[in-house]
Amino acid sequence: MATVISPETSIRSADDAALPPPTRPALLIWRRFRRHKGALIGAGVLIFLALLAIFAPAIAGWRGQDHEAVNLFNRFQPASAEHPLGTDDLGRDLLLRLIYGGRISLFVGLVTAVLTASIGTVIGLISGWYGGRVDAFLMRFCDGWISLPLLPVLIVLAAVDPTKVGLPAAIAKSPDLSLYRIVLIIALVAWTTSARLVRGVTLTLKTRDFVQAAVAQGASTARILFVHILPNALSPILVAATLASGNIILLESTLSFLGLGIQPPVASWGNILTNAQEIIWSQPMQAIYPGVLIFATVISLNFVGDGLQDAFDPRTEGR
């Protein structure tokens, strides 16, 4: 029996054939992101710095040098094949110090941004979902925290003696403690932006049909928040965390510059800059190198954040 094809069916088939195949969301995001030339350059700079930081021990072994080895007879050596950027005031190779300092500064920026986003996300989800008095209390607390001057608060918290809060002296004097303390202090102070952002997204999403359907089916609050709402709020959280990473690196560098951040002998770009402040007129490059790295990292993170913001926004597709 012959199949009869109506004119409407043939027209519909032709139209369907003319339509482009559906594109996966990840490919759409990448297509929008790669249009942002500044974001691509920034991502390249960050990847290069991250690779240097990851392979810092291998680079030190290949060059046969130790970034903490003190040689007072080698102080302030000019750039050479053995020391491409010269040496510092203790005769240590400045290039290796900067590479190892990048490990600390990038670690602080990444880990603190993740911790900050996590704290803010939980508070924002709870505030936006429950509303009422819970929302009012959390947001007034958030507003009060935002009203405090950030840098003085960080200075006060960083200046607290760990032994006064019950930590054993052996732990309080550990060089690694300053690293983890800075991560915790900045995370406890900088969560407010993420909290307000997630609260706004939650207020919008909780009235959507798919959330109401989950409520009607008896899904628990935790499942609704972390399975249905949180995945749809990840894009603004990711953008905010990327933009916050640059500010966090600046804050860590500022505290280290003031002597309240990462403590020697652990190297960070901030305390390398601190060591150079007294010799900046006689040895200006000792301050310029870490300053340029901090500037390049922060600018690159901002460009990547702008690129992600455009990539996750469908309205940029037609621009």
Tell me the CATH number at 267: 1.10.3720.10
Question: Please, is 89 exposed, middle or buried when counting C-beta atoms within 10 Å of its C-beta (0-12, 13-18, 19+)?
Answer: middle
Residue 310 domain flag: yes
Q: What is the pLDDT of residue 138?
A: 92
Residue 67 domain flag: yes
Q: What is the pLDDT of residue 178?
A: 75
Question: Please, is 297 exposed, middle or buried when counting C-beta atoms within 10 Å of its C-beta (0-12, 13-18, 19+)?
Answer: buried
CB 153 within 8 A of CB 280: no
Q: What is the pLDDT of residue 315?
A: 59
Q: What is the pLDDT of residue 172?
A: 64
Contacts with 107 (C-beta within 8 Å, 6 or more apart), sequence order: 53, 179
Q: The dihedral of CA 143, 145, 149, 150: what is its sign?
A: negative
Residue 112 domain flag: yes
- The one-letter amino acid at 132: G
**Model confidence band, residue 73 (pLDDT cutoffs 50, 70, 90):** confident
Which residue shows structure tokens 């913001």?
A: 309
Q: Which tokens sit at 224? A: 């609704």
Contacts with 136 (C-beta within 8 Å, 6 or more apart), sequence order: none
Residue 86 domain flag: yes
Q: Whole-angstrom Cα distance, residue 166 to residue 148? A: 27
Note down the domain range covering 133: 48-318
What are the tens digits of pLDDT across the range 120-165? Answer: 999 999 999 998 899 999 999 998 888 888 888 888 887 777 777 6
Cβ count within 10 A of residue 235: 16
**Model confidence band, residue 15 (pLDDT cutoffs 50, 70, 90):** very low
Q: Which tokens sit at 241? A: 């965390």
- The one-letter amino acid at 218: G
Q: Is 0.75 surpassed by the pTM of this model?
A: yes
Residue 2 domain flag: no
Tally of structural domains, the chain: 1
- % residues pLDDT > 70 (the chain): 87
Q: Which tokens sit at 68? A: 């903490």
Residue 101 domain flag: yes
What are the tens digits of pLDDT across the range 253-301? Answer: 888 877 777 777 788 888 888 878 778 888 888 888 988 998 899 899 8
Cβ count within 10 A of residue 110: 16
Residue 73 vs residues 26, 69, 77, 91, 259: alpha-carbon distances, Å: 56, 12, 9, 7, 26
**Model confidence band, residue 6 (pLDDT cutoffs 50, 70, 90):** low
Mean pLDDT of the chain: 82
Residue 65 domain flag: yes
Which residue shows structure tokens 């996300």?
A: 121
SS3 312: coil
User: Mean pLDDT, to the nearest integer, of 197-214?
Assistant: 89
Task: Work out the angle between the directed axes of helices 285-311 and 234-257 (0-180°, nearest 10).
Answer: 170
Residue 142 domain flag: yes
Q: The dihedral of CA 48, 49, 53, 54: what is its sign?
A: negative
Q: What is the pLDDT of residue 18?
A: 47
CA 310 to chain centre: 18
Let me know the angle formed at the C-alpha of 52 by 288 and 311, rounded to the nearest 5 degrees: 90
Name the most confidently modeled range: 44-58, 86-100, 216-230, 243-257.
Answer: 44-58
